[in-house]
Chains A and B, each alone.
With several copies, the nearest count.
Chain A
Amino acid sequence: MSTPERNRDRDGEATFGEYGGQYVPEALMPALQELEDAYERYVLENEDGFMDEFRERMRDFGGRPTPLQRADRLSERYDREVYLKREDLVHGGAHKLNNALGQVLLAKYMGKERIVAETGAGQHGTATAMAAAHLDMPCEIYMGRTDINRQRPNVYRMRMNGAAVNPVTAGSGTLKEAINETMRDWATTVERTHYVIGSIVGPHPFPKLVREFQSVIGREAREQIREKTGRLPDSVLACAGGGSNTIGAFHEFVPDEDIALHAVEAGGSSLEIDEAEGVAPNSATLSTGTDGVLHGAMTKLLQSTDGQIVESHSVSAGLDYAGVGPELSHLVETGRVTPVSVPDEAALNGFHRLSNLEGIIPALESSHALGYLEENYEDLGDLVVVNVSGRGDKDLETVLEETETRDLEAAPDVEVFDRQ
């Protein structure tokens, strides 16, 4: 093995402190064991050169390494050095491919014949479809009917990459239902199918596996910031939905205790849960959630006192999830990661600000980290790294609509939005 730090991942534990575990139907347990075995052999031991191939494909197909860019105008604005990790430049437009390609390749090494995945807004689905096309793997994506109607372009992209998109009509037809449905497919076809989970969530070994594929973000950033500034950052900011870009950005910095790690969640319109309606007008799971089991792992959740999962909300579809990766719950619980959140408005302003000042249109997800930066830069030290987890082309319509109804200080003139 080439990277000795990775030994931290070889603890053989299915949990991170009290979080994690494997809360899944019995039928899936053998598949998880098989996956754990593959994770150890191919990912941790680089058996058959798996990691070499993964890295090579992420370079040639995925466009890695992504740059770490000094944000000149943000640095000036905040009177400190601000650097952006440009995951928006990864093929497909977000960090999601790091994980999708890793898992599809692993499925190939494991001899699986078929890939399934869930998707909400379509980001993980498109990344998985791209990876599957690239590696010639049949691929089916489960997507809620409501999401399908809201995210047509992503549906087309998946179909053009040759993936089947299976509409999920149950419930509200969004991400939660799509995950449930994918689990069902997997439970039925587990022997020949790999489930490419979309974030660092789910039962062990998924959170570790996904971390392994995503931690390239922080590994590169660490090397790049050293090269550019001769030092390590004072703080690292990343948005957190399921938390894959978050752990991806943080992992290599976790041992450096004096580097502040801020996981920026979607504050939505309010941090309170409406118990009666079973609705959280936010997705601030780390900041406000309570411990429980969802989708295979013990973690922090948005839930009612009875234990029902509530509907989360965020202007950003990719953060709109009631759970979060168990490792993040653990890192928050132990104080290593600081959970923070900003409301929808701050994220929208962050979106406009980066577009306008730096010529980078960030994903609405990533815009949360930029919104937090604006409001809290004074507490972040002299050298700040922000993970721009994806590009915002997919969010244009949403931003236009949301900007029309609000008075956003960072938005360009309203006539921009003359959508005759």
Chain B
Amino acid sequence: MTDEQTTADSEIEAAIRENHPALITYITAGDPSLEDTTEYVEALDRGGADLIELGLPFSEPIAEGPTIQAAINRALEAGTTPEGFFELVDDLETEAPLLVMTYYNMLLQYGPSEAQRASEGDAEKPRNEADVRPFVERAAEAGLSGIIVPDLPAEEADPLREACDEHGLDLVFIVAPTTEGERLERIMSQVSGFAYVQARLGTTGARADVSNATHDSLTRLEEYEVPKAVGFGVSEGDHAAEIIEAGADGVIVGSALVDIIAEHGEGNAPAAAALEAKAAELKRGARRGGGVDVPEPEQP
């Protein structure tokens, strides 16, 4: 499969290219409840998000900063399960394609339990190779377009890559500031949808500036066709502008949105409005950076 082919097949890639420069947003499903998530996703969709990542909460989110970790804890306390998550997605109707972002163990455990498999005479199959299929299948069925697994480096990704290919889902990989040389090539040969460019070392979390690492990473990635979106620490329209200016095809914003949800607490229409406004601000920033001039919205 060539880069071109991947590109052609990908709903996600298409969404980025069509809405260039693209805004990709993240929130945690189930924070503070699945009902609220539906509202929030729709608000982001209205606000201008071109792709929406939904976090499926996992109890040990080692790649997240404190903001998203807290969101995950709220979602887990609210009783969010993978099945609840998929049912949420089943019912969502957004313009923006949806991706699921979760940790590898959640993929592995989804599907028939060990006990069930045993009763079906299936227990012999090694879980780590076989067991991501039920998750991917269900994700495809729910209408998700892609998967991001922050604790799954390319070296361990073969089983998931295969399952995703089988079901036509994109598998997005993260390119870190430390990713270079052979490893970079390997990742870029596996990635589909877009390359998630990690703006700086560390974890997710809103920050006040754009790091140098971002510029370096984008330079290293220049030669690759796949779209590049930059995340980790993007929180304002101005960051978005700067990042797009530096050559990215999209910006990814998570913690800044989760902060809004956290501030508003449970079941809150104002939160949806704020999310929509924030998405709009970020989208405007991205466009500004991409040279597409957009007027400021009227003050309310």
Contacts and interface: CB of A to CB of B under 8 A. Distances in A.
Q: Do A and B form a real pair?
A: yes
B203 A184 contact: yes
Interface stretch (A24-32, A42-50, A119-127, A362-370): A24-32
Q: Which of the four size classes fits the interface of chain B?
A: 35 or more
A412 interface: no
A292 interface: yes
Q: Please indicate which of the listed interface residues A24, A183, A306 has the most CB atoms of chain B within 10 Å of its own CB.
A: A306
A271 to B, nearest CB: 15
Given A30-B178, A187-B201, A291-B127, A23 B66 contact: no
Contact of B128 (A25, A28, A291): A291
Contacts of B178: 26-31, 190-191
A26 B109 contact: no
A188 B202 contact: yes
Contact of A170 (B69, B128, B153): B69
Interface string B58-84: 111111011001100100100001100
Interface residues of A, number: 42
A-side binding surface: helix, strand, loop or mixed? mixed
Interface in A94-146: none
B180 A183 contact: no
B61 A180 contact: yes
B62 A295 contact: yes
A294 interface: yes
A296 B152 CA distance: 9
A25 B60 contact: no
B178 to A, nearest CB: 4
Contacts of B258: none
Nearest to B182: A33
Contacts of B65: 184
Interface stretch (B16-24, B46-54, B93-101, B168-176): B168-176
Contacts of A306: 81-82, 106, 109-110
B55 interface: no
Given A290-B114, A309-B60, A26 B174 contact: yes
A22 interface: yes
A235 interface: no
Interface string A29-40: 111010000000
Interface in B119-160: 126-129, 150-156
Contacts of A23: 104, 151-153, 156
A264 B179 CA distance: 41
A27 B176 contact: yes
Contacts of B198: 26-27
Interface in A178-229: 179-180, 183-184, 187-191
A18 interface: yes
Nearest to B116: A305
Given A184-B65, A305-B113, A307-B109, A25 B174 contact: yes
A303 interface: yes
A152 B38 CA distance: 45
Contacts of B174: 25-27
Interface string A284-298: 000000111111101
Q: Please indicate which of the listed interface residues B109, B127, B176, B177 has the most CB atoms of chain A within 10 Å of its own CB.
A: B109
Interface in A79-99: none
Which 3 pairs, one residue from A and one from B, show the smallest C-beta to C-beta distance?
Answer: A307-B109, A188-B202, A27-B176
Interface of B: 58-63, 65-66, 69-70, 73, 76, 81-82, 103-106, 108-110, 113-114, 126-129, 150-156, 173-180, 183, 187, 198, 201-203
Interface of A: 14, 18, 21-31, 33, 170-171, 176, 179-180, 183-184, 187-191, 278, 290-296, 298, 301, 303, 305-309
24 contacts: A18-B129, A23-B153, A25-B150, A26-B153, A26-B154, A26-B187, A26-B198, A27-B176, A29-B155, A30-B179, A170-B70, A176-B60, A179-B62, A180-B61, A188-B202, A291-B108, A291-B114, A292-B108, A293-B103, A294-B60, A305-B109, A306-B110, A307-B109, A308-B59
